[in-house]
Amino acid sequence: MSAALVSPKSFVSEERPTWCPGCGDYGVLQALQRAAAQLGLQPHEIAVVSGIGCSGKISSYFNAYGLHVLHGRSLPCAIGVKMANPNLTVIAAGGDGDGFGIGGNHFLNAIRRNINITYIVMDNQVYGLTKGQTSPTSAHGFKSTTSPAGSAENPMHPLRLALANGAGFIAQGFSAERSQLVDLMVRAIQHKGFSLLNTISPCVTFNKVNTYDWYRERLHNLDEDGSHNPADRASAFAKVMEHGDLVRGLVYAEEGPSYDEFIPGYTGGSMADMVKRADAALVDKLMAEYR
Amino acid sequence: MRTELVWKVGGQQGEGIDSTGIVFLNACHSLGYYTFGYRHFMSRIKGGHTNYQVRVATRPVYAVGDQTDILIAFDQESIDYNFWELPAGAFVIADGFGAKLPEERGVTLAEVPLTKIASDLGNSLMKNMVAMGATCELTGLPVEPFEMFIERQFGRKGQEVVKANLEALDAGRKYVRERWGHQAHFKLVDSGMKPDGRLVIEGDYAAGMGALTAGCRFLAAYPITPASMIMEYLAVHFPKVGGVVIQAEDEIAALCMAIGANWAGARAMTSTSGPGFSLMQEAIGLSGLTETPVVIVDVQRAGPATGLPTKHEQGDLNEIIYGSHGDIPRIVIAPGTIEECFYAMAEAFNLADKHQCPVIVAMDLYLGMSRGTANEFDVSRVRVDRGALLSGPDALAKVRGQFERFADTPSGISPRVLPGTPGFIHLTTGDEHTWNGRITEDTKIRKAIMDKRLRKIDEVDYPGLSVRGDVPADLVLVGFGATTGSLWEAADRLNAGGTRTAVVQLTRLWPFPAEELTAALDGAGSVLVVESNATGQLAHLIRSRIGGDLLPTLLKYDGDPIRPGEVEMRAKEVIADVSGARIA
Ligand SMILES: Cc1ncc(C[n+]2csc(CCOP(=O)(O)OP(=O)(O)O)c2C)c(N)n1
Ligand code: SF4
Ligand SMILES: [Mg+2]
């Protein structure tokens, strides 16, 4: 079959988004549609594996094979998908609560594993879908229904965590800076290995502190910062700290060997094609150990 | 001459007790005997009592022995711990001098300086070979298999090492010959058989081999006793066939990875034990709701919480049958012998593919970690049936343009197309959804699609039970998993004693084979449900599915497997109760 020409529209599903008007997630969805078109991918070549949250709905609205799983579990599901069919471009997606709270352990270990998937977090520093509770990235003092006196906890720093844990591709985008976001998505998907794209995606309904304007005033554009070297992990870390994580652009990128290169016998083909009964001769060999 | 011998070696963990047991077991296997080996161990690496019991017989054996005839004790603790199972006439070979038997009961204490003899020959580790020599002398077993083992095992280390070990073997024989000679009553009749067509293997390894044979190419798991051996087995052998083992960060991730891999078209599984199985509950529902096949092995151990991590139990049954919130179709099968582990595992993948739901293989420590004789696995008995998986241009052409992933069908089973296929894009969501996979809260669809999913297991082509003996019987013993072996043996004895006894092994626990079980129990004089847990989970399951009173039970939950003799004893009580009631 000859590949059909794709445009961002090719990735618009039959379902209309139900996000609140103005929600940052619209920008993330549109950026992803543009990035996929720019990469020349066909919808059927992509699997979007999303968690639970407003953000997790992205798999409903993006036209590709979608797997919408459990709260916090997009990464392990995506890893299974990618290992079973490496021909698929696998994008895991979800919210800050999904990825850094309930799924935090998967985040840390997915980095370590360096499987070739892209992880897009829509970070709004709040729990959107459950109506506005404090999230792992909410600022200290953030007031919400579950922390009426202000959050007593310090926020998680996903970029710093990813840097410290050895991630090979780390970027932060801003939903309202569309062309930069598209560019970061393209590079994240092209990166061989695990890539983290944390995306500032404001929740206009439940986060009245961290608004579009709040971010606009503060986000430092790393891509225009001549003193930033995305090939140097230590200085990238210093840069992120210097700006209190309020950066946008490429934080760090360095391609290293990916997981499958260390898996003996890994074919790189689809495991669906391997489902057949093992040869009697092979089983005979396996049994020989126990004769 | 006897047709069966029970031998045990005991000592501190970390001093090679297991490997000694396995050497003995393998040697007996090579002499054509049937074997069954059970490992008793503790949750620590060094120190603490451990023992390995090997049953050797001229007929198949599937259970630990009630008594031990010969105990090799490397320390006093091994004597004290195991003395209760030594009958009159038993022999204790104690290492060194000064050991004591707890009481006078016609048990012989044979003090043999195993360690000293080995040290004098150059290496105290060879004390195990001295013990083997002593065993051969006592029982009259030929030494050749042990000599062959030494050649094979130590050949690489040079002739020096081989020679020293052979000397150790011989020194053990000599020491015993000079003091106790050959004990005629331990003499096993010649097996008259060759080991051809048989294996000695652990249930976990058999399960791993079954999965590989059935085309499984992905396992994600988190290490846990007694399931790790499945993972370790596949980690070694998957590379030969392009398969992958991922050590996940936890069991939630493990099951989610397996679900993702199945969704993408692989045959994928996870293996775990109780604590990990508990963590998997939410994702079991994900497989159920999204109709994504997945195979989960639960090699049960003694719970709750961390419980007795190295001990046997069948206490996960409720969770296996009912676990996860909401209602989902699931299939639960339960192999009862090492051999069955292979075939059950292989078939689990067909069931998962066919019914597009989680399939749980309920195993237990006693089954997974016991090493014993099994008939060679017959690959031709394994078939691969992927169910309603549409692939290839012809199959796809037929449904192109009208494909609904969760289409309503009479069987409830909806054809599946794998991601990556052009023209069949769809969403698979763990939210309730429409026939084509779109999230919905429509009450009518919700009800209809729930019914569709649950309908998928109305008919499951997997035997519900296996009955041994004729029914109706005076007594029917009911159980599942590794308990089956003890039931068979108890039944043999009860039959020999004149009680017509049948054994019902539940091979499929869900959907529960209510009709078959009702038929098998019909007209039984007495019924005894035997299970390794404290609350009678199986007995309660049976009552909930077939009605009637709660059946009499034998419940054991001290961490040790149920022995044939215990079943026999309890069976006699139950029969007496019933006849007593009749007289009254
Ligand atoms: C195991 C589990 N716990 C809790 C929930 C309820 N829940 C759904 S989404 C969510 C938080 C969503 O926040 P986030 O991940 O930041 O996504 P957002 O809605 O902000 O995009 C919670 C707590 C759930 N679905 N599953
Ligand atoms: S609640 Fe917030 S995150 Fe959710 S859709 Fe509305 S704006 Fe977006
Ligand atoms: Mg959020």
* Chain B residue whose CA is closest to A266: B242
Distance (Å) from the alpha carbon of B425 to chain A's nearest alpha carbon? 5
**In the prediction, which pLDDT does A259 show?**
94
Query: Does residue A127 line the site of ligand 1, with CB under 6 A?
Result: yes
Rounded Cα distance between B248 and B244, Å, is 12
**Over chain A, what is the mean pLDDT?**
97
Q: Which ipTM did the prediction report?
A: 0.98
Q: Which residue type is seen at B81?
A: Y
Please give the structure tokens belonging to residue A100: 């850094």
Verify that B376 and B228 share a domain, yes or no: yes
Distance (Å) from the alpha carbon of B390 to chain A's nearest alpha carbon? 12
| Residue among B212, B213, B215, B256 at smallest CA distance from B235 | B212
Inter-residue long-range contacts of B160-168, CB under 8 Å, 24+ positions, other chains counted:
B164/B121, B164/B122, B164/B123, B164/B126, B165/B126, B165/B129, B167/B121, B168/B117, B168/B118, B168/B121, B168/B126, B168/B127, B168/B129, B168/B130, B168/B133
Question: B151, B183, B215 — which closes off a domain?
Answer: B183
Residue B14 · residue B45 · CB < 8 Å:
yes
Q: How far is the CA of A122 from the centre of ligand 2 (A)?
A: 11
Verify that B215 and B318 share a domain, yes or no: yes
Rounded Cα distance between B456 and B413, Å, is 6
Q: Give the CATH number of the domain where residue B260 resides.
A: 3.40.50.970
The domains of chain A are located at: 8-260
Residue A41 · residue A62 · CB < 8 Å:
no
Query: Does residue A47 line the site of ligand 1, with CB under 6 A?
Result: no
Residue B79 · residue B73 · CB < 8 Å:
yes
Nearest CA to ligand 2 atom 5: A19
Q: What is the 3-state secondary structure (H, E, C) of B406-471?
A: CCCCCCCCCCEECCCCCCCCCEEECCCECCCCCECCCHHHHHHHHHHHHHCCCCCCCCCEEEECCC
Verify that B168 and B39 share a domain, yes or no: yes
Q: How far is the CA of A121 from the centre of ligand 3 (A)?
A: 9
8 Å CB contact of A275 and B215: yes
CB proximity under 8 Å: A 57-86 to B? 57, 59-60, 63-70, 73, 75-85
Residue A3 pLDDT more than 70?
no
pTM, 2 dp = 0.98
DSSP string, B238-294: GGGGT-EEEE-SSHHHHHHHHHHHHHTT--EEEEE-HHHHHHTHHHHHHHHHHT--E
**In the prediction, which pLDDT does B578 show?**
79
Verify that B310 and B374 share a domain, yes or no: yes
Q: Give the CATH number of the domain where residue B561 resides.
A: 3.40.50.920
Domain that holds residue B226: 200-381
* Chain B residue whose CA is closest to A107: B249
Please give the structure tokens belonging to residue A249: 């652009």
Q: Are strands B526-531 and B268-272 parallel, antiparallel or unpaired?
A: unpaired
Ligand nearest to the CA of A52: 1
Ligand nearest to the CA of A206: 2
**In the prediction, which pLDDT does B183 show?**
85
Residue B131: C-alpha distances to residues A217, B75, B168 (Å)? 80, 13, 9
Verify that B251 and B375 share a domain, yes or no: yes
E strand or H helix at B497: none
Total Cβ atoms within 10 A of residue B326: 9
Chain A residues whose beta carbon lies within 8 Å of the beta carbon of residue B240: 265, 282
Nearest CA to ligand 1 atom 26: A71
**In the prediction, which pLDDT does B490 show?**
98
List B221's β-bridge partners, or say none: B247
Verify that B486 and B545 share a domain, yes or no: yes
Whether B38 is covered by a domain: the verdict is yes
| Residue among B13, B35, B12 at smallest CA distance from B23 | B35
- The class that CATH gives domain A8-260 is alpha beta
Verify that B152 and B210 share a domain, yes or no: no
Q: How far is the CA of B6 from the centre of ligand 2 (A)?
A: 69
Q: Which residue type is seen at B320?
A: I
Residue A213 · residue A176 · CB < 8 Å:
no
| Residue among B457, B415, B453, B416 at smallest CA distance from B433 | B453
pLDDT (tens, 9 = 90+) of chain B, 584 residues, equals 899 999 999 999 998 999 999 999 999 999 999 999 999 998 888 889 999 999 999 999 999 999 999 999 999 999 999 999 999 999 999 999 999 999 999 999 999 999 999 999 999 999 999 999 999 999 999 999 999 999 999 999 999 999 999 999 999 999 999 999 888 889 999 999 999 999 999 999 999 999 999 999 999 999 999 999 999 999 999 999 999 999 999 999 999 999 999 999 999 999 999 999 999 999 999 999 999 999 999 999 999 999 999 999 999 999 999 999 999 999 999 999 999 999 999 999 999 999 999 999 999 999 999 999 999 999 999 999 999 999 999 999 999 999 999 999 999 999 999 999 999 999 999 999 999 999 999 999 999 999 999 999 999 999 999 999 999 999 999 999 999 999 999 999 999 999 999 999 999 999 999 999 999 999 999 999 999 999 999 999 999 999 999 999 999 999 999 999 999 999 999 999 877 654 44
What total number of domains does chain B contain? 4
Question: B438, B457, B476 — which closes off a domain?
Answer: B457
**In the prediction, which pLDDT does A83 show?**
98
Closest in A44, A68, A78 to B427, CB measured:
A68
Closest in A82, A283, A291 to B379, CB measured:
A283
**In the prediction, which pLDDT does B583 show?**
45
Q: Give the CATH number of the domain where residue B27 resides.
A: 3.40.920.10
Distance (Å) from the alpha carbon of B285 to chain A's nearest alpha carbon? 10
8 Å CB contact of B214 and A106: no
Residue B350 · residue B284 · CB < 8 Å:
no
**In the prediction, which pLDDT does B584 show?**
40
Whether B287 is covered by a domain: the verdict is yes
DSSP tag of B47: S
User: How buried is B583 (Cβ within 10 angstroms: 0-12 exposed, 13-18 middle, 19+ buried)?
Assistant: exposed
Whether B28 is covered by a domain: the verdict is yes
**In the prediction, which pLDDT does B581 show?**
56
Residue A200 pLDDT more than 80?
yes
List B201's β-bridge partners, or say none: B372
Q: How far is CA B15 from the centre of its chain?
A: 25
**In the prediction, which pLDDT does B500 show?**
97
Question: B440, B457, B474 — which closes off a domain?
Answer: B457
Whether B194 is covered by a domain: the verdict is no
Atom of ligand 2 nearest to the CA of A24: 8
**In the prediction, which pLDDT does B182 show?**
83
Verify that B372 and B427 share a domain, yes or no: no
Q: Which protein residues touch ligand 2 with a CB less than 6 Å away? A: A 19-20, 23, 25, 54, 124, 128, 203-206
8 Å CB contact of A276 and B422: no
Rounded Cα distance between A149 and A86, Å, is 48
